Amino acid sequence: MLTHFAAALGVLGLLTAVPGPDMAVVTRRALVAGPGDALRTVGGIATGLLLWGALSVAGLAAVLAASPTAYLVVKLLGAGYLVFLGAQALWQNRGSASHTTRTDSGSPAVGSPWRTGLVGNALNPKIAVFYSGLLPTLAPPQLPAAWAMTLLVLLHATLTLTWLGGYALLLSRAGRVLERPGTSRILGRTTGVVLIGLGLVVATTAG
């Protein structure tokens, strides 16, 4: 059983560390409102993983993964959400004088960070494919399937919290640099372009 969990840890760790939409969304929140909001976004992403995990245990994620129409709908919704976030980032960093991205109270004017992370992850159908396709193959056969899947989902959520949470805190250590209007504006625009690009990739990638 320990061998299975070690293999699962390696696979899940690799998948978690690969840059993707989640990291881009966390970067955007860190630039817009600081590490606190970025960490809450990470919490929303982890909640999305738990949601997909619950659906997988219930068998609903497998149904979605097996239905081309349902998969396409969720994929396009997810892609559209990423493009929306990217366009929002570009709009907030438009012009040479646009460098203030927080409200007077210090909180961001871009909605709930936790909801941003949750919605972005919940609209990622590839998680459904992964949880219903690959994840069961990593489950220790000594445990009941539901228990094994639950443990693996919790492991994935923990790795995500650790990795993206550490990344958000790392960004905060560069706070003085990121607070410079020019640097913040460039990074904000870059993040916006990356999010839009990821949205287009998600929308045009088959399966």
Q: 171-190, pLDDT tens digit by residue?
A: 877 655 556 666 667 777 88
Supply the DSSP symbol for 102: B
pLDDT of residue 184: 66
> Helix 113-122 to helix 21-33 angle, to the nearest 10 degrees?
170
- If one counts every other C-beta atom within 10 angstroms of the C-beta of residue 207, the result is 9
- Please say if the pLDDT value at position 69 is more than 60: yes
What whole-number distance in Å separates Cα of residue 33 and Cα of residue 27?
A: 10
Q: Taking the model in full, what pTM does it have?
A: 0.76
Q: Which residues contact 25 (CB under 8 A, 6 or more apart)?
A: 41, 45, 82, 85, 116, 117, 120, 195
Amino acid identity of residue 112, one-letter, is S
- Please say if the pLDDT value at position 115 is more than 90: yes
If pLDDT is split at 50, 70 and 90, which confidence band does 98 have? very low
What whole-number distance in Å separates Cα of residue 64 and Cα of residue 128?
A: 7
Residues 15, 135 contacting (CB under 8 angstroms): no
Residues 197, 110 contacting (CB under 8 angstroms): no
Q: Which residues contact 99 (CB under 8 A, 6 or more apart)?
A: 93, 181, 182, 184, 185
Q: Which residues contact 61 (CB under 8 A, 6 or more apart)?
A: 52, 55, 127, 128, 131, 132
Closest to 16 (Cα-Cα) out of 157, 151, 148: 157
Signed CA dihedral, 137, 142, 146, 149: sign only: negative
Most confident of 80-84, 147-151, 158-162: 158-162
What whole-number distance in Å separates Cα of residue 120 and Cα of residue 81?
A: 7
Residue 59 region, left (φ>0) first, then alpha (ψ -120 to 50), else beta? left
